[in-house]
Amino acid sequence: MTSESTGAADGPGDTASAAAAAPQRAGLTVDLDVEICVVGAGLAGLTVALEAARAGANVVVLEGRQAGWSASGHHLGTVMPGFALPLSDLIARVGFDDACELWSLSRAGADYVRAHAAEHVISGLGLTEGVLEVSNVDAGDRLISRLQMLSEDFATEAEGWQVDRVRDTLRTGRYFHAVHYPRAFQIDGRKYVHGLAELARNAGARIFEDTPVVGIDPFGIRKRIVTPRARLRASHVVLAGNIHLGKAMQRLSDTLVPVWRHAAVTAPLGERLAEAVTFHGSVIDTDGIDHFRIVGGDRLIWASPETTWDARSEGQAAAIRRRIRTIFPQLGAVEIATMFSGAIGQTVHGMPQIGRLSPGLWVASGFGRQGLNTSAMAGQLIAGGMLEGDDRWRLFSPFELVWAGGTTGRAAGYAIGLAEQARSAAAGTLARYREQARIRARAREARFAEANRLAGTRPPRSAARRAPPDQEGA
C-alpha cells in the first residue's frame, strides 16, 4: 500500500500525468505592489485568482507549499449542488427566499466546474455523470418531501429511487431509498486543481509557491503582506488558506474546526465488484459516513469517516477495509492499494465563510466536505465583489465567523460527531431490524393464509385481531 497525508499520492486519477502537469515551483523573492493578493493556492484561492485575472486585475497568489497540496489535491471529485448544511436547516436559518438564492448560487458553482471540466478547457478530467444519495434508514416519506422541494422550489433535477431499485444497483441491505442527481458528476480532482492553476497563470495571475504568508497588516488602503523573503502591498487581500492559515490571521483560523478525511483506492476487485455495484457515479450516504465510487473499471475509491486529528494512514486503511466489508461482505477481503488524505475546514454553522471582513480584506474558506461547487461559487462572488461591486456575497452575512472553540471545542466537536455517527448507525440497525420484522410477519401471514386455504377454514379470531404486518416492529 502506498500512502501520503495531504501530499502526493495516487488520488482518484492518474497521478503520474497529474504530477507531470504540475509546473515548476517558484518562490517570491522580490517585493511587489499589486492590486490583489490571494493567500492560498487551493481550489478557493485559485478560482478567485482565475476570475480576478480574467477580469483584468493584477493578481498574485502566495502559497506556503504547493498548489493543491492539501485537500484541494486529495479529494474524491464529486460535484453536487448545495452545501454541507442540510437544505431544511438552511431555510430555517435564512428563510425560504434567501435559501433559494443561496442554493442557486451553489448550483451555478457546480455548473462552473462542469464548464471548466470540458476537454478543451482542462483536459483529462474524465467527467462521469450521476450521484446517488442513499439513506441508511427507511425514510420514504422524508424522501418524497425532499424530492418535491428540490425539483419544485430549488430547480434541481432529482429522482427518487425505491429500496428495490437501490438494492438492484448496490447489492447491500444497508441502504434503503435514495435520491439520484442525474446532473451531479465527478471528475479527477487532482488534475482539476492543477488545471485551475494553469488557467489562472494563462490569464495573467502570478502564483508563487513555497511562499508562506507570515504576517498581514489589513489596515489602511494598501494592505501589507509579509513573507519570509519578500513583502507585498495590495489593495485587496483574499484569505483562502483554509485551516492552514495559522498565525497570518489566527482569529480567522480559530473559526474553523480542522477535520481530516482519508480515502483509499482498492486493488483490482475483478468481476465481484461488477456484481456488487452497478452504479458508476458517486454514492454518498445521508449521514456523511460512506462516500465511494468505482474507478479504473474494477477498483473502489472509498473515503473514511472524518477525524479531528491527522490519524495514521494504516489505521484508516483498516477502518476503510472494515467498512467496505460491512457494506459489501460479498467482496470478501479487500486489499488497499493506495491511501491519500486531506484536511478540511468545518465551520460551526456548516456554511462556508465567503465575503468581506473589512474594506479590502476578503475571506473564502470553510468549505467542509463539499468544496468543489462552493469554492467555485466563492471565487466568482469574491472576484465580482472586489472588481465589479457585486454584493451577492452578502447573502452569506448571516453566517458569521464563529469561534470554533479552540482545542477543547474541537475535541468536544469530535465527540459530538462520534455520537451522531453512533446515533445514525443505531438508526440504521433499527431500520434494518424493522425491515426484517416486516418480512418475517409477511411470511407468517402467507403461511397462515396458505394453511387456511388448504384447511378450507376461516382464520381464528385471535389472528384476525393481530396488527397488520406493516405496523409490526414500527
Ligand X SMILES: Cc1cc2nc3c(=O)[nH]c(=O)nc-3n(C[C@H](O)[C@H](O)[C@H](O)COP(=O)(O)OP(=O)(O)OC[C@H]3O[C@@H](n4cnc5c(N)ncnc54)[C@H](O)[C@@H]3O)c2cc1C
H or E segment to which residue 32 belongs: strand 32-39
Name the segment binding ligand X (CB under 6 A); options: 70-78, 118-126, 323-331, 410-418.
Answer: 70-78
Secondary structure of residue 434 in the 3-state scheme: helix
Angle formed at CA 343 by CA 341 and CA 347, multiple of 5 degrees = 145
DSSP class of 165: H
Binding mask 274-303 for ligand X (x = CB under 6 A): -----------------------------x
Using N-to-C axis directions, what is the helix angle for 189-202 and 96-116, rounded to 10°?
80
User: Which is nearer to ligand X, 169 or 370 (by Cβ)?
Assistant: 370
In the numeric block, which cell numbers belong to residue 34? 499589486
Q: Which residue in this structure is represented by grid cell 481550489? A: 43
133-141, 143-151, 195-203, 360-368 -> range binding ligand X (CB under 6 A): 360-368
Interaction of residue 76 with ligand X, rule CB under 6 A = yes
Q: Helices 189-202 and 43-54, interaxial angle, to 10°?
A: 30
CA distance 93 to 99: 8
When binding is defined by CB under 6 A, the residue of 107, 114, 191, 244 that contacts ligand X is: 244
Q: Which is nearer to ligand X, 40 or 130 (CB)?
A: 40
State in angstroms the smallest separation of the CB of 378 from ligand X: 8
Bridge partners (DSSP) listed for residue 217: 224
- The residue (of 286 and 441) whose beta carbon lies closer to ligand X is 286
Cell of 452: 387456511
Interacting positions 314-353 with ligand X (CB under 6 A): 341-342, 344
87-94 helix and 96-116 helix, angle to the nearest 10 degrees: 130
For residue 382, give the nearest of 342, 419, 420, 353 by alpha carbon: 353
What is each CA distance from 390 to 108, 291, 354, in whole angstroms? 16, 35, 13
Of the candidates 166, 197, 248, 334, which one interacts with ligand X according to CB under 6 A? 248
Q: What is the DSSP letter of 392?
A: G
| Most distant CA atoms of the chain, gap in Å | 97
Answer yes or no: are the C-beta atoms of 240 and 200 closer than 8 Å: no
Interface mask toward ligand X for 177-216; x: CB under 6 A: -----------------------------------xx---
Closest approach of Cβ 473 to ligand X, in Å? 36
Nearest CA to 10 out of 258, 266, 282, 323 is that of 266
Please report whether residue 77 would count as binding ligand X according to CB under 6 A. yes
Judged by CB under 6 A, which of 32, 39, 60, 252 binds ligand X?
Answer: 39
Q: Which stretch binds ligand X (CB under 6 A): 91-99, 127-135, 241-249, 404-412?
A: 241-249
- Give the DSSP per-residue string, 218-245: --SSSEEEE-SS-EEEEEEEEE--GGG-
Which DSSP state fits 469?
Answer: G
- What residues does 79 pair with on adjacent strands? 185
**Is 39 or 300 the residue whose CB approaches ligand X more closely?**
39
| Count of residues of this chain found to bind ligand X when the rule CB under 6 A is applied | 43
Q: Among residue numbers 114 through 143, which ones bind ligand X (CB under 6 A)?
A: none
Of the pair 246, 459, the CB lying nearest ligand X is at: 246
- Binding of ligand X at residue 383 (CB under 6 A)? no
The residue (of 350 and 473) whose beta carbon lies closer to ligand X is 350
The Cα–Cα gap between 307 and 287 comes to 15
Which segment (33-41, 173-181, 264-272, 395-403) binds ligand X by CB under 6 A?
33-41
Among 242, 338, 346, 347, binds ligand X (CB under 6 A): 242
Does 245 participate in binding ligand X (rule CB under 6 A)?
A: yes
Between 277 and 431, name the residue whose CB sits nearer to ligand X. 277
Near ligand X by CB under 6 A: residue from 5, 18, 57, 74: 74
Interface residue list for ligand X (CB under 6 A): 39-45, 62-65, 69-72, 74-78, 212-213, 240-242, 244-246, 248, 261, 263, 303, 341-342, 344, 365, 367-372, 375
